[in-house]
Amino acid sequence: MSFLLDPFQSVVMRDAFVIGVFVASMCAILSCFLVLKGWSLMGDAVSHAVLPGIVLAYIVGIPLGIGAFASGLICAVSTGFIKQNSRIKEDTVMGVVFTGMFAFGLVLFSRTPSEMHLDHILVGNILGITASQFWQTLGMGSLILIVTLILRRDLLLICFDPGQARVMALPDRFLNYLLLGLLSLAIVVSLQVVGIILVVAMLVTPGSIAHLWTDRFDKMLQIAVASATGSTVIGIFISYHIDASTGACIVLAQALGFVGSLIFAPKYGLITKRKGLRPGI
């Protein structure tokens, strides 16, 4: 029993569980949209591109979230602009833009004297969360969750068939930018937990796990949240007992969940497919 209860003895660990599960659930909800829209790479790009924004915000003395948000949007928007005005394909443009911005952030960081630890930004520091960060994360995360869930049908429509949104005079462009904005904000909120490098896993893996398990979107949301919550709890436990990076343990647990789903999922798993048991038309 003490194996399971030990981690709950300290306030730090309890806060870590609360924030970890909350952030993982928020990312899981968004991940369903990203996976279906084919924006996985976008999540990766935006998460790296926030670094210069964070450093600049630190230098100027404004909340780091604002800088990160602005620089994430700059990455996404400039990618779209370059793609439309050149012959280079989108994934290539994105690769150049986000690595360039990330490198710029690293240079800025190394030239800026600060109390910040680079590895906390890169891989997160869920155990070192302060009270104000705790409440900020809950507040911002709730906002993201509420907006996403209220507008989920519209967001789903622009993932599925943006043309239909357009012919019904729905604001498809606005919805696209809204999804992008929610993504950038979610990355900022999650940095404390898993850091820049691993946040994309939280924004992609739960959605892909859920997509393997179900054919209904509302169920997909539930499965994504459940798998993200489970992996977070397991990840924190493991990291506590083997004294490893918490963020990395969470992401590793999710990855294992994905592999398991890939093999064992009832309808789209490899075993079912191999046996040819998948129900036909």
Partner 1 sequence: MNSGNHSHRLEVAGLSVAYANGHLALHGASFHLAGGAICALVGVNGSGKSTLFRSIMGFVTPQSGSVTIDGMPVRAALKRNLVAYVPQAEEVDWQFPVSVWDVAMMGRYGAMNFMRIPRAVDKVKVEESLRRVSMWEFKDRQIGELSGGQKKRVFLARALAQGGRIILLDEPFTGVDVKTEEAIIVLLRELRAAGCIILVSTHNLGSVPEFCDQVVLINRTVLAYGPTADVFTEQNLAAAFGGVLRQFQFDQSTIQNHDGRAVRILTDDERPLIFGKDGHLEYKDREEHEELLRQRSEEHD
Which positions touch partner 1 (CB under 8 A)? 36, 84-85, 150-151, 153-154, 156-157, 159-161, 163-170, 211, 214-217, 219-220, 279, 281
Cβ nearer to partner 1, comparing 59 with 150: 150
Lookup: tokens for 26: 């928020």
Q: How far is the CB of 99 from partner 1 (least distance, A)?
A: 26
Cβ nearer to partner 1, comparing 190 with 205: 205
Burial profile 95-118: b = 16 or more Cβ within 10 angstroms, e = fewer: bebbeebbebbeebbeeeeeeeee
Q: How far is the CB of 44 from partner 1 (least distance, A)?
A: 21
Lookup: tokens for 276: 């040819």
Q: How far is the CB of 201 from partner 1 (least distance, A)?
A: 21
Instruction: Report the distance separating Cα 67 and Cα 166, nearest Å.
Output: 32
Cβ nearer to partner 1, comparing 51 with 209: 209
Lookup: tokens for 260: 């398991």
Question: Counting beta carbons within 10 angstroms of the beta carbon of residue 174, is it exposed (0 to 12), middle (13 to 18) or buried (19 or more)?
Answer: exposed
Q: How far is the CB of 208 from partner 1 (least distance, A)?
A: 12
Cβ nearer to partner 1, comparing 21 with 30: 30
Cβ nearer to partner 1, comparing 136 with 222: 222
Q: How far is the CB of 79 from partner 1 (least distance, A)?
A: 15
Q: How far is the CB of 223 from partner 1 (least distance, A)?
A: 10
Cβ nearer to partner 1, comparing 70 with 156: 156
Instruction: Report the distance separating Cα 53 and Cα 117, nearest Å.
Output: 16
Burial profile 189-218: b = 16 or more Cβ within 10 angstroms, e = fewer: bbbbbbbbbbbbbbbbbbbbbbbbbbeebe
CB neighbours (10 Å) of residue 76?
Answer: 23
